[in-house]
Amino acid sequence: MERMRDGRRRYSRDFKVAAVRRVLKGESIREVSTELGVAYELVWRWKKIVAERGEDYLYDVGQPGQWAKPRRPKSPEESGQQRRIAELERLVGRQQAEIRFLDKALRRIEELRQRSNGGGGEASSKE
């Protein structure tokens, strides 16, 4: 991170890429931004750039002409592979979030069952 004269901060490409990779692996943007001390909107914007264009569009601090073209050109095959990897990482992240949610829900149900043990009568049967 580099501070500008007016007090604003500028982040290196490696810093941005590391933050986005954490989000793509399943951490929430809020968690990552809070831990790194970066505005939520910045991390969200970096993630959006990577999702739409790829990591090559996250530029270094003060790189001249940074918005004109990507860091290094990639072959169409390599670019397609990067998109596929990003897609799979997003899928894994969503699945991890679902697993955490379902695990919490299961624990909650088990707690409720343990509290309500022994309160009911015997079930009737047809005979």
Q: How many domains does the chain have?
A: 1
On whether residue 127 sits in a domain, the answer given is: no
The CB density around residue 47, as the number of other CB atoms within 10 Å, is: 21
φ and ψ at residue 93, rounded to 5 degrees: -60, -45
The string of pLDDT tens digits covering residues 38-78 is 899 989 999 988 888 888 777 766 554 545 555 565 677 77
On whether residue 126 sits in a domain, the answer given is: no
On whether residue 120 sits in a domain, the answer given is: no
The CB density around residue 38, as the number of other CB atoms within 10 Å, is: 19
Rounded to two decimals, the pTM is: 0.46
3-class secondary-structure state, position 51: helix
On whether residue 110 sits in a domain, the answer given is: yes
Q: Which domain holds residue 19?
A: 2-115
On whether residue 121 sits in a domain, the answer given is: no
Position 64 scores a pLDDT of: 47
The CB density around residue 4, as the number of other CB atoms within 10 Å, is: 10
On whether residue 31 sits in a domain, the answer given is: yes
On whether residue 17 sits in a domain, the answer given is: yes
The one-letter code for the residue type at 124 is S
- Mean pLDDT, rounded, of the chain: 80
On whether residue 39 sits in a domain, the answer given is: yes
